[in-house]
Amino acid sequence: MSGERTDDPILTEGLLQRILTSIVGNGAVPGIGVAINQGGKTIECYAGKSNFDANIEMGSCARFEISCMMKFYLALISLKMASEGLLDIDAPIGKYLTDLHIRVPSKTTAICIQHLLSHTSGYRGVNIQEAKYKWNFSWDKMIEFLEGTPQLFQPGMTFNYEHSEHVILGEIIARVSGISPTRCVEDQIFSPLGIYSSNARHSDIVTSYTKNNGRFVSVKMPPLGEFWRASLSDKALTLREILSIGEALLSRERLSLPETIVTQLFQPVIRLKKVFKMPASEHMPMSFGLGAAQYWDGVIGHNGSTMGQTCALRLVPAEGLSIVVGINAWAPHIRDTLIELILKLSTWGRYPQKHSPNMERKDDNLFCGADSSKFVGNYIGSYYGNLLVTVDKRGLRISTTSKGGGHNIFEAKLNSDGHVEMRAPTPVSLGFYLDPIDKTPCLAFGGYTYKMR
């Protein structure tokens, strides 16, 4: 940044509007919105279409599916219950789930509530893209699944973004409170803020789009089954409503939250491994805590994404800053790059701060100076299920098998200049490392972690 600082903010409503209009004008996304609150002042700007077919402009009434962001709200409920002595986040889950304890004692005595909150439970989860899990899963089936699924990692040692962890957390909250976890969120977070959430069938829901041959095509997907509502909600909120939750977290009084809750959210529990990312891939956080990701020092948040849209909340308490971005297409790199720009313009370049050097240790990723043949083999995890890693003169090849029997091929090689070059059908980040306990090769593939059989 050049020039002499004045009392006027760098980011004005006019500048933000020009930025959003430019993003839409360049054909990057069909519609986009941003809501910001800093020091009590709110800015909202929108550009593009909420619905092309109906010619509806993107605006303040547009509702985005919060989806994964429900995990963040459920974490707030958990921390609040812990402050009231109703929940012990350090306790094993078997303390609250006695039926589960009988069937799978090894998991229920080793996995604690804090592992669910931080995505470090370590069991191999389900692939929610499969119909048998997506629409017809139940608690009884979950117990049966946990009984047979491998415990890939020791609890607390490895980050793996597993959706079913928050379903388990929701079951614990329901049994302790006597009401459903989603009702807890409605009563203790939404209602005090005047948020009366609707579901994805509301008339103001933004239409989801995907890009096909350079054109945006609408995506219509039925919502996940009731089983997943505590983890992947079908609730839809406006950006201003999501922003109000960020504002309340920075002031706390409106939600009757304990003073320690923001401190707990900012406390890292697990440091993510360093990954090499392709251009246009999603920005991975540097660490994860009790329900929130740490993206840079002093910046936390959570994303809510479904097929065809994504929204995000970021908080910077030191600046009194809350940011919400919503896009009605799956364009996480645009979302993340825009958030970084807004942070810079809103704070005179004080944020985003670079994280500490120990967060970038080269031994976190075995592409650095290691023999690639050590990583050859079959890997198992949840999202893709199985990955086959081979190596040839072009470098490492990672093959995923789709439901129809086809294959997606991801290639990566370490160049002589020390940079990793990747080719893939979709932008991705990845990194190899050794399990800290048994030294088995592992593969961080975006937010999912796989382990060699």
Pairing of strands 386-392, 377-380: antiparallel
Does 18 have pLDDT greater than 90? Answer: yes
Q: Integer distance in angstroms from the first to the last C-alpha of the chain?
A: 50
Element (H, E) at 337: helix 332-346
Higher pLDDT, 363 or 373: 373
* 8 Å CB contact between 127 and 384: yes
**Span 151-189, pLDDT tens digits:** 999 999 999 999 999 999 999 999 999 999 999 999 999
**Span 271-328, pLDDT tens digits:** 998 888 888 899 999 999 999 999 999 999 999 998 899 999 999 999 999 999 999 9
Residue 85: C-alpha distances to residues 81, 82, 88, 307 (Å): 6, 5, 7, 38
Domain 361-452 in the same topology as domain 9-360 = no
| Domain 361-452 = CATH 1.10.10 | no
Mean pLDDT of 8-23: 92
pTM above 0.85, yes or no: yes
Q: Domain-by-domain residue ranges, the chain?
A: 9-360, 361-452
Query: What gap in Å lies between CA 94 and CA 91, rounded to an integer?
Result: 8
In the chain, the amino acid numbered 273 is: K
* Contacts (Cβ under 8 Å, ≥6 apart) of 93: 100, 107, 108, 111, 112, 113, 116, 168, 172
What pLDDT is stored for residue 173 in this prediction?
A: 98
CATH class belonging to 9-360: alpha beta
Q: What does DSSP assign to residue 224?
A: P
- Average pLDDT over the chain reads 89
Query: What gap in Å lies between CA 434 and CA 451, rounded to an integer?
Result: 9
**Span 327-356, pLDDT tens digits:** 999 999 999 999 999 999 999 999 997 654
Residue 79: C-alpha distances to residues 29, 130, 267, 274 (Å): 36, 32, 13, 29
In the beta sheet, which residues pair with residue 104? none
What pLDDT is stored for residue 8 in this prediction?
A: 59
In the beta sheet, which residues pair with residue 47? 32
Q: Provide the token pair at 285.
A: 């956080």
Report the candidate in 174, 170, 278, 274 with the shortest Cα–Cα distance to residue 229.
170
